[in-house]
């Protein structure tokens, strides 16, 4: 029987930084649970966000696949898309509602997904906060800009 | 010192070299060592031993501790898969060392053994289980009832008992919770084990604290942080369908509201 040791004790003989009375810091995981945590409830928000992801996902399958089909496959595919094509579609309230719904659902679905990713992976509270602020700003900007364009679109713009 | 495993390991400790059909093979165990009294760095250490591949990883750890290096530190109590003390990461998967046979985990290659992840490592394979048990306590894992105590046992039909049978099997070894990537990155998450033990009472027809427990698990660090990666179901040494239990709690939370 042989013990092949590449032991930590080998280094200990040179300079002993740590000993019984002066142990090294233990290896802690990020954001440990303590007695004090676990009380910060946020009502039903997490449940609603979870439900929203499932429901918006189902609706988005129809909206996005329909959108891709109309834009890229039917009637000559991508080559037909131009200012006139967009103006023609947005003349109808049906396509306005379709695009508006798709914009809102896709943006909120994606933003909520990224929010959970940030929550899962950002370890420091500060990093998490600022990443989420950046995400929310970008989401609000995109949603508002898109909504503005859909409702104020002028087909006779010069 | 009078455990059955001691005798077993002592017998196994006398391999007869040269004996033609000896069951013993040479296995390398690569163990993640950490001793805060020596170094702040954890490091891998290799141990080679002759062992019967039909022995368990725990027997090998015993052999190392008793015959090669007494400073190796790990937890074990019953050594028969019931106490839940010796969950560790063996070849990159959370298992109980006392239920893992060496022949089942490819002894040709070095077998890696390290502490479970996501909990503070105190020494070698020993972690601080306190955050894990704190999450367990937070879901109130005890019978909650109202009214007078009955003079006889609380009766329950076989079907009602069957409803939560799976989650009664939990031995609190933390193999599931410490295999969860969400728990690794954020220990605030209750973790699968706490949810499993809440499930055990939420779906118990005799219990009346279900609403309180659901409210606790509705928290931002509760069931909604589960990403259904199924690591917990795969890690459970008792074969509990952990992810299914978590999903059932989610469904109960939603159907309760709507």
pLDDT band, residue A26 (cuts 50/70/90): confident
Pick from A4, A31, A38: CB nearest B186:
A31
Domain shared by B115 and B141, yes or no: no
Asked if residue A156 has pLDDT above 90, the reply is no
The pLDDT confidence band at residue B256, using thresholds 50, 70 and 90, is: confident
Same domain, yes or no: B161 and B78? no
* pLDDT surpassing 60 at residue A14: no
A89 in a structural domain = yes
Domain co-membership, B163 together with B252: yes
In sequence order, the β-bridge partners of residue B43 are: B33
Contact present, A88 and A95 (Cβ < 8 Å): no
Convert the pLDDT of each residue in B104-135 to its tens digit: 999 999 999 999 999 999 999 999 999 999 99
Higher pLDDT, B103 or A31: B103
Is pLDDT of B167 > 90? yes
What span, in angstroms and rounded, lies between the C-alpha atoms of B183 and B226? 9
* CA distance, residue A110 to nearest chain B CA (Å): 16
Partner-chain contact B187 A46, CB within 8 Å:
no
The pLDDT value recorded for residue A36 is 62
Q: Round to whole Å and give the CA distance between B53 and B29.
A: 13
A 10 A CB-CB count for B225 gives: 22
Question: Could you tell me the two tokens for B112?
Answer: 């890696």
The two tokens of residue B75 are 């937890």
> Hey, what long-range contacts does B212-217 have (CB within 8 A, 24 or more apart)?
B212/B140, B212/B144, B213/B139, B213/B140, B214/B249, B214/B252, B214/B253, B214/B256, B215/A41, B216/B138, B216/B139, B216/B140, B217/B139, B217/B190, B217/B249, B217/B253
Q: How many domains does chain B have?
A: 2
CATH number at residue B53: 3.10.20.30
- Of the listed ranges A132-136, B181-185, B193-197, B245-249, the one predicted with least confidence: B181-185
Q: Where are the alpha helices (DSSP H) in B41-178?
A: 57-63, 130-138, 158-163
Q: Do B220 and A11 touch (CB under 8 A)?
A: no
Residue A9 belongs to a domain: no
Within-domain flag for A146: yes
**CATH code, B211:** 1.10.1060.10
Q: Mean pLDDT across chain A, nearest whole number? A: 83
Q: Same domain for B93 and B162? A: no
Model pLDDT for residues B58-96, shown as the tens digit of each residue: 999 999 999 999 999 999 999 999 999 999 999 999 999
Using CA atoms, how far apart are residues B219 and B231, in angstroms rounded to an integer?
Answer: 22
* pLDDT in the model for residue A17: 79
pLDDT tens readout for residues A36-60? 665 555 578 889 999 999 999 999 9
Q: B101 and B213 share a domain?
A: no
Torsions phi, psi of B213, nearest 5? -65, -40
Considering the domain architecture, whether residues B12 and B99 belong to the same structural domain is answered as yes
Domain residues for the domain of A59 are 45-152
In this predicted structure, the answer to whether residue A135 has a pLDDT above a threshold of 80 is: yes
**Which B residues, 59 through 78, put their C-beta within 8 Å of a C-beta on chain A?**
64, 67-69
Structure tokens that stand for A104 in this block: 């809102």
Q: Where is B193: in which H helix or E strand?
A: helix B192-202
pLDDT score at A6? 47
Looking at the structure, tell me whether residues B115 and B134 fall in a common domain. Answer: no
Which tens digit of pLDDT belongs to each residue from B23-40?
899 999 999 999 999 888
Of B34, B184, B225, nearest to A29 by CB-CB distance is: B184
> In this model, does residue A75 exceed pLDDT 80?
no
> How many angstroms separate the CA atoms of B119 and A82, rounded?
57
Residue A15 domain-assigned (yes or no): no
Section A69-83 average pLDDT: 83
Q: Is residue A90 part of a domain?
A: yes
Distance CA B197, CA B176 (A): 12
Q: Do A27 and B118 touch (CB under 8 A)?
A: no
Segment B178-193 shows an average pLDDT of: 92
Q: What is the mean pLDDT of residues B174-184?
A: 94
- Phi, psi at B236, each rounded to 5°: -60, 120
Q: What is the CATH number of the domain that holds A133?
A: 1.20.1300.10
Give the model's confidence band at B6: pLDDT under 50 very low, under 70 low, under 90 confident, else very high. very low
**The 3-state secondary structure of A92-141, one letter per residue:** CHHHHHHHHHHHHHHHHHHHHHHHHHHHHHCCCHHHHHHHHHHHHHHHHH
Residues A31 and A124 sit within 8 Å (Cβ to Cβ): no
Residue B10 pLDDT > 70, yes or no?
A: no
Beta bridge partners, B111, equal: B29
Residues B238 and B144 reside in one and the same domain:
yes
In a domain, A115, yes or no: yes
3-state SS, residue B111: strand
CA distance B64 to B124: 13
pLDDT of residue B11: 52
Q: Is A139 a residue whose pLDDT tops 50?
A: yes
Q: How far apart are CA A130 and CA A68, in angstroms?
A: 34
Residue B21's pLDDT is 74
Predicted local distance difference test score (pLDDT) of residue A18: 82
Average of per-residue pLDDT across B194-201: 96
Q: Name the residue range of residue B65's domain.
A: 4-127
Whether A27 maps to a domain, the answer reads no
Do B15 and B33 lie in a common domain? yes
With cut-offs at 50, 70 and 90, classify the pLDDT of residue A85: confident
Residues B108 and B180 in one domain: no
In angstroms, the CA B82 to CA B61 distance is 18
CA distance A76 to chain B (A): 41
In the block, which residue shows the tokens 């070095």? B110
What's the ipTM? 0.75
Q: For residue A70, what is the DSSP state?
A: I
Q: Which two tokens stand for residue B105?
A: 């985990």
pLDDT category of residue A5 using cuts at 50, 70 and 90:
very low
Closest by CA to B143, choosing from B201, B194, B195, is B201
Half-sphere exposure of B117 toward its Cβ, with a 13 Å CA cutoff?
A: 17
Report the C-alpha gap between B86 and B79 in whole angstroms.
8
- The reply to whether B119 and B140 lie within a common domain is no
- Total number of domains in chain A: 1
Select the residue of A2, A20, A29 nearest B187 (Cβ to Cβ). Answer: A29
Residue B54 has pLDDT above 90, yes or no: yes
Contact residues, chain A, for B39 at CB < 8 Å: 8, 11-12, 17-18, 24
Chain A contacts in chain B segment 18-57 (CB below 8 A): 28, 33-50
Is the residue at A57 inside a domain?
yes
């Amino acid at each position: 029987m042989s013990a092949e040791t590449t032991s930590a004790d080998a280094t200990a003989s040179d300079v002993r930084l740590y000993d019984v009375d002066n142990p090294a810091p233990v290896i802690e995981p990020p954001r440990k649970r303590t007695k004090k945590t676990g009380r910060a409830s946020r009502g039903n928000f997490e449940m609603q966000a979870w439900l929203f992801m499932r429901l918006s996902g189902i609706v988005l399958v129809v909206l996005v696949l329909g959108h891709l089909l109309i834009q890229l496959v039917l009637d000559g595919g991508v080559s037909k898309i131009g200012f006139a094509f967009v103006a023609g579609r947005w003349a109808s309230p049906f396509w306005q509602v379709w695009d508006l719904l798709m914009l809102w659902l896709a943006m909120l679905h994606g933003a909520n997904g990224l929010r959970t990713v940030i929550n899962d992976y950002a370890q420091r509270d500060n990093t998490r906060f600022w990443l989420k602020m950046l995400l929310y700003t970008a989401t609000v900007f995109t949603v508002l800009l898109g909504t503005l364009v859909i409702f104020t679109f002028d087909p006779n713009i010069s | 010192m009078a455990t059955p495993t001691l005798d077993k390991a002592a017998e196994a400790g006398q391999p007869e070299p040269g004996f033609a059909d000896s069951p013993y093979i040479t296995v390398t165990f690569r163990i993640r060592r950490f001793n805060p009294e020596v170094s702040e760095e954890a490091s891998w250490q290799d141990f080679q031993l002759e062992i019967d591949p039909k022995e368990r990883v725990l027997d090998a750890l015993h052999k190392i501790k008793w015959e090669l290096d007494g400073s190796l530190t790990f937890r074990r109590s019953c050594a028969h898969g019931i106490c839940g003390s010796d969950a560790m990461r063996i070849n990159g998967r959370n298992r109980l060392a006392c239920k893992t046979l060496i022949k089942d985990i490819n002894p040709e290659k070095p077998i890696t053994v390290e502490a479970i992840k996501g909990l503070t490592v105190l020494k070698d394979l020993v972690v601080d289980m306190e955050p894990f048990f704190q999450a367990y306590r937070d879901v109130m894992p005890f019978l909650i009832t109202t009214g007078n105590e009955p003079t006889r046992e609380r009766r329950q039909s076989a079907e009602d008992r069957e409803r939560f049978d799976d989650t009664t099997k939990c031995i609190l070894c933390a193999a599931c919770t410490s295999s969860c990537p969400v728990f690794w990155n954020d220990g605030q998450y209750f973790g699968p084990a706490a949810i499993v033990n809440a499930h055990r009472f939420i779906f118990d027809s005799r219990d009346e604290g279900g609403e309180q427990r659901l409210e606790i698990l509705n928290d931002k660090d509760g069931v909604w942080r589960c990403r259904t990666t199924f690591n917990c179901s795969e890690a459970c040494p008792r074969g509990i369908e952990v992810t299914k239990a978590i999903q059932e709690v989610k469904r109960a939370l939603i159907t309760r509201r709507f």
